[in-house]
Chain A
């Protein structure tokens, strides 16, 4: 009985714990949740559907900028988020189409190109995005008298969205969508023969993953209160790739572990002054050498789950 609910219990505990923290740890926890949402999106596209995407930061930007532009003008946060998600989903579809023609490292390059061009547009379109000067004073959501401006309140808000994203991803992956994605990842030819409409599912894998990235991006903007194009470069996309692979590709628990490790590990190592980045890089290499399937292997060893894995 305890074993079955242990994963859920740990999750709830981890989710509520940061409320006891002070602002720095609370900030890191909030950031981890945002990155979790983004990692879940990428895990969908890459881990489950097998489509390599280095464009994830660009989709994140598509979520952040509407919030950043509309928020200071007094429009509700949720409106900005909705616009962002629609934009991200739309562009996910656009990027998804070339995905039909190319594979693997070629697809990686297409998505990489998209990310870089998106960054350049963001940086040079000063009239809309503020260019390199960025946009500051991004307000946090408020529902009439209820205000999420304080760090703790905003953490709860982000947590709410994260829970929604996790639940929807769980539902999606347990449905026929999930089975279709996995079929495509394993063997495209076989999937097509069996009747899986490759076109639809491949494109949707990008679009849905991008939509999640949009949600994450929208929540990211008020967390810092200031964004500039530098947050959405190729480096950021690579960071998400690392989260998903190190966590465990195509495993539901993967993004949780990946987001936590990539966000929290450098902070924990910070005590070693200048060395911590070197240690982090070393840790990445070692993790790949000894756990190429991701850290989810450790999780599996610790937790015997009688539920079927999705």
Chain B
């Protein structure tokens, strides 16, 4: 009797497992992102950005007349899990993969997407992602290689920073930024007076800030994850350290919301912000807020733009051919005039790195006010037709 039950259970289990992840026939975008785990703030923003973009695209008639559908898969901010999830996503035969945001996950799972030949649009910013020679990965925002070149230029030329301290988070994201920061400073014959690492989820930064103060730095470049940035700024104000605070994601929406008043006075080079002078961005920001009840951060914008990038490339090719779309994305210029959903002109190089104009902001009254607009780093870029 028991053996019969055992066999029955086994059969049911096998059938159930076999039915997990059945395929359908539709134009799909697979959102592979950090919905839970340490990367949840970024991943959920990314997901919401894609969903909003899909909504807008479908309202405007879809991609070449076909509706887009999405499926959301959670990587738990864990690279091995992201690999498993990527494989599962590939089973659904999507047109493109949207994700991941965490650089260490992207490096792990982008190989899987490459083997399957499905273009992957990622929100990662670590230079590591574009250094691996993967022709299938495309960033939605410039990597640290481009971004930090602009940042250091502004820091040295505009702010005339002399004694610079660097605080970064000790993971692939932070170390990648550090590598680029130090390199571009060195190119200008400068170096940092303090080079300090922090941990993810670290809460108390008194030792690090004490070292900053002891170094006599006039400017401190703060490059942790958003919440740690917020905590650090609160403590800088608490300790009364007088230093100019600069950064990148230091002025992100998530950082400002967590840190509040302490963020006032921070100056950053940001890829995009809801308060940018670009009317398209303002409009999207408003739509996002209406739909989700919160202000979008850069990850949401990246996702929105990334989704439209897929559409733009597909339309330029004129077919839903993944290899051709991939080819079209490399070494090409995509203008906002042609595809408004891109919000700003962007170009993509042969490694999947993006270039785009960006802003310098200063946080005033808990809002990142745009002080200056920076143009693309390089160029002029040419627009290739892809037929």
Contact = CB atoms under 8 A, between A and B. Distances in A.
A268 B174 CA distance: 34
Contacts, number: 100
Nearest to A26: B87
Given A31-B84, A224-B79, A267-B84, A132 B172 contact: yes
B88 A24 contact: yes
A302 B132 contact: no
Nearest to A29: B17
A193 interface: no
Given A224-B83, A225-B111, A132 B170 contact: yes
B2 A131 contact: no
Nearest to A276: B74
Nearest to B16: A268
Nearest to B116: A23
A241 B107 CA distance: 28
B80 A17 contact: no
A131 B126 CA distance: 14
Interface stretch (A90-98, A180-188, A226-234): A226-234
A25 interface: yes
A302 B2 CA distance: 5
Nearest to B38: A230
B80 A231 contact: yes
B111 A136 contact: yes
A134 B36 CA distance: 22
Interface string B106-148: 0110010000000000000000100010000000000000000
Interface residues of A, number: 39
A6 B3 contact: yes
A273 B51 CA distance: 15
B104 interface: yes
Contact of A226 (B36, B76, B111): B111
Contacts of A270: 20, 73-74
B20 A274 contact: no
A225 B115 CA distance: 12
Given A2-B3, A6-B6, A274-B74, A267 B170 contact: no
Contact of B5 (A123, A136, A302): A302
Nearest to A27: B87
Interface in A97-137: 123-124, 131-134, 136
A13 B13 CA distance: 13
Given A17-B14, A277-B36, A302-B2, A228 B90 contact: no
B170 A123 contact: yes
A2 B20 CA distance: 31
Contacts of A277: 36, 76
A24 B87 contact: yes
Interface in B74-97: 74, 76, 78-80, 83-84, 87-88, 90-91
Contact of A25 (B17, B128, B170, B174): B17
B84 A228 contact: no
Contacts of A194: none
A16 interface: no
A8 interface: no
Contacts of A290: none
Given A25-B21, A136-B108, 12 more contacts: A2-B3, A10-B10, A24-B21, A24-B87, A25-B17, A124-B170, A131-B175, A134-B108, A224-B80, A230-B78, A268-B17, A303-B3
The 8 closest A-B pairs by CB, nearest first: A24-B87, A24-B88, A302-B6, A226-B108, A132-B171, A132-B172, A27-B87, A23-B87
